[in-house]
Amino acid sequence: MNERLQVYEDKMKKTMANLDGDLGTIRAGRANPNVLNKIMVDYYGAPSPIQQVANVSVPEPRMIQIQPWEKSMLKVIEKAIQVSDLGINPTNDGSTIRLVFPELTEERRKELVKDVKKKGEAAKVAIRNIRRDGNDAFKKLKGSDISEDEIKDMGEQLQKLTDKYIKEVDKAVEVKSKEVMTV
């Protein structure tokens, strides 16, 4: 693959990585430490992810246990979770924080699947925008030392890349939707 196309494939890979990260934060029926990824706590003046200031474990399928390395971080972590959009009230026993995830209702599962599909659609739009940018860049090559056939060929290869990544988005959305709907 030529280096002109590689730039666009790299951008599409980044879009997929972002989608995977976003889908990882959507919780299915079981506790997943990734739901804490976007929650930051103030650690000596620097915003830090909870995983960098505490030991995060999943002792039971619907419970996350957070054990800060410093006792002083207990209240800070608890507060950060309370003000986040997680929607779960943490239990603090003086040394660890526990998050117990309730069973998801059918209605809530359907809302989450809609959210998953929305994120998938956004990723597809991003991939199509990358394709458009690529095609625009290739059109500007007309009149240079690259033949029209080569430009047409690059456009076709870019379309194949686009199709490949759109399929990957669809597959990721399908897998996450199944996971969310599984009781």
Q: For the segment 15-49, what is each residue's pLDDT rounded down to a tens digit?
A: 999 998 888 777 666 777 877 888 888 888 888 88
pTM: 0.69
Q: Give the dihedral sign, CA 63/41/82/178.
A: negative
Q: For the segment 102-125, what is each residue's pLDDT rounded down to a tens digit?
A: 777 888 888 889 999 999 999 999
Residue 109 shares a structural domain with residue 95: no
**51 exposure class (CB count in 10 Å sphere: 0-12, 13-18, 19+):** middle
- Say which CATH number the domain at 139 has: 1.10.132.20
Spatial CB neighbours of 128, under 8 Å, sequence gap ≥ 6: 162, 166
pLDDT of residue 119: 93
The values of phi and psi at residue 118, to 5°, are -65, -45
pLDDT exceeds cutoff 90 at 58: no
Residue 137 shares a structural domain with residue 165: yes
Residue 65 shares a structural domain with residue 128: no
Residue 91 shares a structural domain with residue 49: yes
pLDDT of residue 127: 94
Q: In angstroms, rounded to a whole number, what is the distance separating the alpha carbons of residues 24 and 22?
A: 5
